[in-house]
Structure 1
Amino acid sequence: MAKAIPKISSRRNLRTGSRRNLRIGSRKRLAEEVIGVIYVQASFNNTIVTVTDGGGQVLSCLSTGTFGFKARRKATPFAAQTVTANALRTVRDQGLKQAKVRIKGPGPGRDGALRAIRYGRIRLTTIEDITPLPHNGCRPPKKRRV
């Protein structure tokens, strides 16, 4: 009689520790690989700044809304500059030395966030615009009949 094959594809068998241990491990790795990626998503209503390490683990994520700005003040360059400076301060304390910048969106927070990144003590390797552009766009509405 053949032996039963143990089931190894269950979720419980794959995870070997808590998610917290994975995050702490990525912070230790950050000292070795000192390059990170700063993502700035600037919409017309809000600006979101996310800083990741080389492996893609999120080190800091802030938006103007969670930082305390309300309503129309969320979409200002000053709010984006303040939030970006605060996000960079936390990752600089963790040991981030240089970073790539990827900016997405048409909002007014683009310039303020980029200004704060330039004033921060992190060396920039590249600045890249990743705003999605349509190749052909949406289908236009049908012609109006009167």
Structure 2
Amino acid sequence: MLRSGVHSSGVLQKEGDRRSMMKGLPKTDEGSAGERFHFGGFDKVVDFPSLDTPNTLFDDIPFKELPILHIKSTKNNTIFALCRPDGHFILTRSCGMEGFKNCRKGTNVAAQVTAVGMSARITKMGYKTVRVCINGLGPGRLSSIKGLQTAGINIVSITDTTPICEIPIHRPPAARSV
């Protein structure tokens, strides 16, 4: 006949094991590598837009005549589009055009590489200073701006054009059961 005993030593040691494990962990969370972002290189703090902002000169070009770089960041891809202030497109690039395929297109590394490639093409065309409009909540949001900045593009303003849904979205209808 087998008899099972009651043991409490494992339960009593559990709290001590947790304390020793917590001692070995770092005190602060460092965050994930590559997601840190620093807006460096600015000489002064820029004020909020005023009535005189469209006429302000940046590299001898009025603000209202600067080209606009639209960045659409989705979970599957990041798309860059450079256009004139009147809305005519000049150049378009995406992570797929840079050689990333399938799920790799949606990574922050792909967005940064595409931003560096886009900035090389922009500078070759003679544009050095741009306005940036960013749309979407994908992983390439910050890294695309970081890639533009490290490649030498002078970013004058960053505008977030992501639509905010104030009306709750209804669930789709249930699938038909046959």
Instruction: Return the TM-score normalized by structure 2.
Output: 0.57
Change (3 A) 1:141 1:53: closer
Residue 130 of structure 2 is aligned to residue 65 of structure 1: no
What residue number does 1:76 align with? 107
Report the structure, 1 or 2, having the larger helix content. Answer: 1
What residue number does 2:140 align with? 109
Residue 171 of structure 2 is aligned to residue 134 of structure 1: no
What residue number does 1:98 align with? 129
Q: Name the Cα RMSD after superposition.
A: 2.0
**Structure 2 gap segments, 5+ residues each:** 1-60, 174-178
Instruction: Return the TM-score normalized by structure 1.
Output: 0.68
- In our comparison, the structure showing a higher alpha carbon Rg is 2
Change (3 A) 1:96 1:137: same
Distance in 2 separating the partners of 1:92 and 1:59: 13
Change (3 A) 1:135 1:84: same
Identity of aligned residues (%): 28
Alignment equivalent of 2:76, drawn from 45, 50, 56: 45
Distance in 2 separating the partners of 1:118 and 1:137: 37
Count of residues in correspondence between the two structures: 111
The answer as to whether partners of 2:122 and 2:128 remain within 8 angstroms in 1 is: no
Where relative contact order (Cα < 8 A, 6+ residues apart) is larger, the structure is 1
**Structure 1 gap segments, 5+ residues each:** 1-31
Alpha-carbon distance, 1:141 to partner: 7.1
> Residues 43-94 of structure 1: CA distance to partner in whole angstroms, max 9, x if unpaired?
0011101111223222211111122111121111111111111111112111
